[in-house]
Chains A and B, each alone.
Chain A
Amino acid sequence: MKLGSLTRQLGLAALALLVVAACGSSSTSAGTTDWSKQASASAGGGMAALVAAAKAEGQLNVIALPPDWANYGAVISGFTAKYGITVNSANPNGSSQDEVNAFDGTPNAPDVVDVGQAVALANTAKFAPYEVATWGDIPAGAKEPTGLWFNDYGGYMGIGYDSSKVPAITSVSDLLGAAFKSKVALSGDPTKSNQGLNGVIMAAVANGGSLDDISKGVAFFHQLKQAGNYVPVVGTSATVKAGQTPVLFEWDYLSASHGKDVSTWKIFVPSSAIIGGYYSQAINNAAPHPAAARLWEEYLYSDAGQNLWLKGGARPVRMSAMTTAGTIDTTAAAALPAVNGTPLVPTGAQTSAASQYVVANWTAAVS
């Protein structure tokens, strides 16, 4: 079917070229500002002008945003309620790479993407620079200097578990015990998923490895497999609800969302291995709805948008600035899982090296 979709995309691309060629001239003469060229709201005439232009476009294409991921469902409906713009959400369970692969030049291409670090770094040529109004609140290390991508929300790698099915987890090595037979899963395939890879990195650090030496993490999953405890299923809300993956390596903010399905769901973040990770926003430089794309970023980085991440259990990137300013949702902030210790955040180079090791050794370790 990959073949079929490739040709379909070629066909759509050809069609899109015709459509773009046909209406390209009319759209530039109608609007006063070409938002696809604006690197901030003020550069294009201010927020009011951006809102007006975005409302005129009326649509926003997003991709790979599961409604239960970091509260995206509420974020999307909040955006639609505030600005009256329809959000077209494609392929909610896609990967970061799927998002960029969908930049096909058609009117259905995503306007904005939410991607892991590796994909953000590898695809800057496809993104448009943009600085949101609250740009100064984003720490320098958490954004590309010109605004090609900027971190938005993140959290720590944790082990979520159903406390009614397994004993309380106090260390990663507990998982090798007999009580965890056929119960332990990852929330992504580490050979291709950022989240799955960070689960293996966490296991590595907890077992005497480091961000530079992930081999101990792969060895740990090999031991899990030998013990009959590893379940080779990608954990999702559905598998947790069904009870198929009662112990799941996952970002803590995503794991928190299982509480609504499984009331006995708990999250363990090992103090010896706190692995942090952020997801980044970026704008397609050929966005079909350039103004709506920019307004979406403004919304995500507004106080309201950032507090929505926090309600979903994720740590918004402006958290420290908002705490200082007193605009943070203190109830939601207090509900975050307690973490004692210093978080480690893998660099792009460390993630890439870890990924190459996992690709070469994972299948042999767990099959």
Chain B
Amino acid sequence: MTAAGNPAVTPARPTRGGRFTVTWVGVVPFFVYVGLFLLLPTAIIVVGSFTDPKGGFSLANFQGINKPYMLKSFQQSLIISAISAGAGAIFGSLLAYAVVTGNPNGILRRAVMSASGVLAQFGGVALAFAFIATLGTIGFVTEFLLNHGIDIFHNGVWLYETPGLILIYVYFQIPLMLLVFLPALDGLRPQWREAAESLGGSTWHYWRYVAGPLLAPSFLGCTLLLFANAFSAYATAAALLTQGGVLVPLQIQALITSETEAAQPGLAQALALAMIIIVVIVMSLYALLQRRTSRWLR
């Protein structure tokens, strides 16, 4: 249950050989796995979200979404995902550029890459706990600052609210951005810059007319990936916010486990389906942008 998704990996283009049957057998385990753990659950959710408690067809679950507190959780989820993706994209790409301008085999690059690989996957309960232990109401940084006259929670405990979630999400968004955006920066050839300069272009011209347009699709695509990553994150928020269903995944959790009134699995599945639709849209845009990028940067 890691919060961060896997960075996109561009597979090598398969060569079409005559021995089709043998190569086909090799991917059977993969398709079985995808079928069992992706397609089957999705099908269960789709069926369940259109089913009423008695087993008949119903749209009531989707009407259940149209309540102020449900729409509010969608709004919160979208805001937190968008801001954390934007901040992660900006800081992550700057960091990536700093790394790219250094020695390609240098210690800095290897260290940053390794650290990012670890930190991009450092989500979930462990990350939430790390923040509670440092910046929580009794975290050691909080206590240290309090002893020096600074009360970071003077206006309320923001760590457990939207700003806190954004801060924590950015923690794994920046390294993820570095990992997925670095290949695009690596694809910028020094010769292009030299060409621009030899034709009398300034640094501004180079970025405006060469590097910028080349990197823009990749940058936007990576931002969308970060957005989907934050939107679908569950464990970090669940461990941090044990109180109140501020985000859609937490609403789903509440609907499945509520002990105060009849749990509503149908409504939970409808919410899940709505999330799936949003992620599918975002990831389709991501795929389109990636295709455009790969034409230039190989």
What residues of chain A have their CB less than 8 Å away from a CB belonging to chain B?
Answer: 1-4, 6-7, 94-98, 101, 115-116, 118-119, 122, 181-182, 185-186, 189-194, 196-197, 225, 228, 230-234, 242-244, 351-352, 355-356, 358-364, 366-367
Contacts and interface: CB of A to CB of B under 8 A. Distances in A.
Interface stretch (B170-178, B196-204, B254-262): B254-262
Given A2-B252, A232-B241, A234-B243, A359 B259 contact: no
Contacts of B69: 359-364
Contact of B260 (A6, A98, A182, A192): A192
A159 to B, nearest CB: 17
B244 A189 contact: yes
A336 B243 CA distance: 29
A242 B138 contact: yes
B33 to A, nearest CB: 11
A4 B267 CA distance: 19
B66 to A, nearest CB: 13
Nearest to A181: B153
Interface stretch (B19-27, B37-45, B217-225): B37-45
A116 B262 CA distance: 12
B156 interface: yes
B261 A233 contact: no
Interface in B237-293: 241-246, 252-254, 256-263, 272
B58 interface: no
Most buried by B among A231, A234, A356, A358: A231
Contact of A189 (B45, B132, B154, B254): B254
Contact of A233 (B44, B73, B160, B235): B160
B243 A7 contact: no
A59 B260 CA distance: 30
- 7 nearest A-B pairs in the assembled complex, by CB-CB distance: A3-B41, A96-B259, A234-B242, A192-B258, A355-B260, A232-B243, A355-B261
B45 A3 contact: yes
A205 B156 CA distance: 26
B68 interface: yes
Nearest to B67: A360
Contacts of A7: 36-37, 40-41, 44
Given A231-B157, A242-B138, A118 B260 contact: yes
Given A191-B245, A363-B244, A364-B68, A97 B136 contact: no
Contacts of B155: 228
Interface string B140-158: 0000000000000111110
B228 to A, nearest CB: 16
Given A118-B261, A182-B153, A1 B243 contact: no
A116 B259 contact: yes
Given A7-B40, A98-B259, 8 more contacts: A98-B257, A101-B263, A242-B138, A244-B132, A355-B258, A360-B67, A363-B73, A366-B244
A231 B256 CA distance: 24
B126 interface: no
B138 A244 contact: yes
A4 B254 contact: no
21 contacts: A2-B272, A3-B37, A4-B37, A6-B41, A7-B44, A97-B256, A97-B257, A101-B257, A189-B245, A191-B245, A192-B258, A228-B155, A230-B157, A232-B161, A233-B242, A244-B138, A352-B260, A352-B261, A355-B261, A361-B69, A367-B162
A243 B263 CA distance: 33
Nearest to B252: A2
A6 B38 CA distance: 11
A243 B45 contact: no
A126 to B, nearest CB: 13
A191 B72 contact: no
Nearest to B155: A228
A96 B257 CA distance: 8
A50 B269 CA distance: 43
B74 interface: no
A25 B90 CA distance: 66
B261 A359 contact: yes
Contacts of A242: 138
B65 to A, nearest CB: 13
B82 to A, nearest CB: 18
Most buried by B among A118, A182, A192, A197: A192
B72 A197 contact: no
B243 A97 contact: no
Nearest to A186: B243
B234 interface: yes
Contacts of A352: 260-261
A362 B252 CA distance: 16
Nearest to A97: B259
Given A228-B155, A231-B137, A360-B67, A2 B245 contact: no
Contacts of B108: none
Contacts of B261: 118, 352, 355-356, 359
